[in-house]
């Protein structure tokens, strides 16, 4: 019998997110409008022997509750159990992303230096873009060396919204 990945849509103030959970772990939180989630679902299907089934479970309920608190300025740290699926290099980058404090940003170059990957900025950026757990693993906190907002699966306006939300500014969207 195959395992099941339960999926449900979460409607955020800046776009719909597709949440996915396998057993007791959140394995997907990705922006629906960008189509990025289709690639992430493909990776999950390839990695696990699973079927996709619409509906929730207690992990999705927990994720939705914590996202409500986050968007309501009542949560800065997430406690949902995560199951990131990727290469060891990608997981190292994602672990590094998780250390960027709420409300702060870091350039790709500084992130590469912090992780001891000075010559791997492009590979780090690609790993950042392969993050299937948006917001929970805060890839939106990584910006260009010049301070400009660069690529984000939810779009630049969404990235700006999230950064403004975390900095305590009233997001304009």
Nearest-10 crossing angle of helices 88-97, 121-129: 80
Does residue 173 register a pLDDT over 60? Answer: no
Q: What is the pTM of this model?
A: 0.89
Q: How much is the average pLDDT of 37-48?
A: 72
| Annotation marks residue 139 as catalytic | yes
Predicted confidence (pLDDT) per residue in 95-132, tens digit = 999 999 999 999 888 888 888 887 778 888 888 888 98
Collapsed DSSP state (helix, strand, coil) of residue 2? coil
Domain 88-166 has CATH 1.10.10.10: yes
- The active-site residue, picked from 14, 27, 29, 139, is 139
How many residues are recorded in the chain? 173
Question: Above pLDDT 90, what percent of the chain?
Answer: 51
Higher pLDDT, 47 or 155: 155
The whole-chain average pLDDT of the chain stands at 87
Higher pLDDT, 142 or 34: 142
Structural contact between residues 31 and 154, judged by C-beta atoms closer than 8 angstroms = yes
């Amino acid at each position: 019998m195959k395992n099941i990945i339960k999926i449900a849509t979460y409607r955020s103030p800046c776009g719909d997110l597709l949440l996915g959970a396998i057993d007791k772990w959140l394995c997907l939180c990705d922006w629906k409008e960008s189509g990025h989630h289709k690639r992430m679902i493909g990776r999950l299907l390839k990695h696990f022997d699973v079927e996709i089934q619409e509906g929730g479970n207690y992990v999705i309920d927990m994720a939705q509750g914590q996202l409500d608190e986050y968007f309501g300025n009542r949560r800065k740290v997430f406690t949902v159990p995560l199951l990131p699926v990727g290469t060891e290099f990608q997981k190292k980058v994602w672990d590094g992303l998780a250390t960027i404090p709420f409300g702060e940003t870091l350039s790709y170059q500084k992130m590469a230096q912090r992780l001891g990957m000075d010559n791997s900025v492009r590979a780090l950026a690609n790993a950042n873009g392969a993050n299937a757990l948006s917001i929970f693993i805060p890839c939106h906190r990584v910006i260009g060396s010049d301070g400009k907002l660069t690529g984000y699966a939810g779009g630049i306006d969404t990235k700006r919204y999230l950064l403004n939300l975390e900095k305590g500014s009233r997001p304009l969207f």
